[in-house]
Amino acid sequence: MYVVTGATGHTGNVVAKALLTKGEQVRVIGRSAERLKTLVAQGAEPFAADLTDATSATKAFVGAKAVYVMMPPNIASPDFRVFQNHVTDAIVSALQNAGTTHVVTLSSIGADKPEKTGPVVGLHHLEQQLNKISNLNVLHLRAGYFMENTLAQIGIIRGAGMTVGPLRPDLKLPMIATADIGEAAANALLNLDFGQKQTRELLGQRDISMTEVAQIIGSAIGKPDLRYTQAPDEQVRPALIQLGMSANVANLLLEMSAALNSGHMRALEPRSAQNTTPTSYETFVREGFLPLYEGKSAA
């Protein structure tokens, strides 16, 4: 039996479905049994647990052949690093108490760095703490920048007629569709082709800049002149807060953007067949961005 945390989220949902499709037994974790119902209809066992609670996380992990571990976001948290540390502590206790032997984590490029990468510092800490568990085989999947992050541009295009963000326009980023991360994680869980403590980067189909992102979106939505503008932190911060982020989370995201812009946070592996994943940004725009932009799918 596999345990999948964040099973209602971008990556966990794909992991759970891929394992179910292979006929595997899957226990799916989220905070609400109601939200897990769709997966239950596909054969999953639901388990409502908050990942800040070591006792319920332990119960959730007992009996697992392997666990998919994802650090949940908490955009309203007044101190997100403290929240991340609570989750890490609970997960470490739960894995030890449950005697789990195999874990695949969702980490990020930049998780090699102990500081100045915003929320990714919490993923660095998660990696480090899991690496201290003897007898645990753990694979940290260090994913690139999510293509889904660019969905935030929908409202900006509607409101301002352009795309805007804190990243340098020319910065080539390894952008990845979360579905590709889910597939890669499911394959690692099925094959258990890792041992001891390992990291593996997932870099998407190719590196792509925000200038190219704007061009690809522009041609898909019939606005071929759509441009990208880099905005200063003073302008981005209030916009992030208006989206529901605490000032702390907004500042961490700006720190991460600065780390990407400076190259402090970057992929370490040369691109290869193993760390390249299939979904292009063009495909993501057609299948993920456009339906939302055209209002055909719930945001």
How would you classify the pairing of strands 45-48 and 26-30? parallel
Binding to ligand NAP by CB under 6 A, coded x per residue (else -) over 174-213, reads ----x-----------------------------------
Task: Report d(CA 159, CA 145) in Å as an integer.
Answer: 24
Query: Does residue number 72 form part of the binding site for ligand NAP (CB under 6 A)?
Result: yes
Residue whose beta carbon is closest to ligand NAP: 9
H-helix or E-strand spanning residue 103: strand 102-108
| Residue of 44, 61, 102, 119 that binds ligand NAP (CB under 6 A) | 119
> Interface with ligand NAP includes 6 (CB under 6 A)?
yes
| Beta strand segments in 117-244, E | 137-143, 145-146, 163-165, 173-176, 197-202, 207-208, 228-230
| Tokens 């529901």 found at | 244
Radius of gyration of the chain (CA): 19
CB-nearer residue toward ligand NAP: 70 or 103: 70
Residue 10 or 116 with smaller CB distance to ligand NAP: 10
Q: How far is the CB of 157 from ligand NAP (least distance, A)?
A: 19
Residue 59 touching ligand NAP (CB under 6 A) = no
Q: What CA–CA distance (Å, rounded) separates 99 from 58?
A: 9
Contact status, residue 6 vs residue 29, Cβ threshold 8 Å: yes
Count of residues near ligand NAP by CB under 6 A: 27
Give contact residues for ligand NAP (rule: CB under 6 A): 6-12, 30-32, 35, 50-52, 70-73, 106, 108, 119, 123, 143, 145-146, 149, 178
